[in-house]
Amino acid sequence: MKEEKDGTYVDKLTLDEIAKNDDDMTREAIKNANRYHFKRYEAANAFTTNAFILCMRKIGGVIEKDKQSGHFFSPDRRTRVEQRDRYQGQDLWRNGIYIYRDDVLAYFIGKPQLFMGSASAIIRIPPQALAYWVVTNAPLNGGKIYSMPSVVGSERN
């Protein structure tokens, strides 16, 4: 007889507790994040792709899409990747890629956001205008991502 896995702490939480826990984990990840600035959307988007690759290498996993949930999981289901695009207004910064390991948020890679001189001034205008920023706690130290000439600056969040 096959022994069942005990699961993770999330299995014992209510939906409200899961939502609060996720919010807390996201805010903690942002505290340890950096903001990277780019002149072009294409460069910011390429940066997010490279950051994702580095995160997956660090976690050590291949992921496959789950047809029912739409999320991506590792074959052992210990790694889960979510793409979120549902936030608006002041929470725009929360849109992006969430990488969980054993139901704990390991990495957050924000979707490229438009900015006008300050992080709080997010305005919807055509993509060719102004500049973009990406917030991430991805493990970029020693990664080839720093060699990207399109990064025009970074700062601690």
What pLDDT, in 10s, does the model give residues 29-86? 777 788 888 888 899 999 999 999 989 988 877 888 888 888 888 888 888 898 888 8
Look up the pTM and report it: 0.71
Q: Which helix (H) or strand (E) holds 64?
A: strand 64-65
Give the Å distances, CA to CA, from 68 to 54, 71, 97, 103, 151: 27, 8, 19, 18, 37
Residue 120 CB contacts under 8 Å (≥ 6 apart), including other chains: none
Contact indicator for 120, 108 with CB cutoff of 8 Å: no
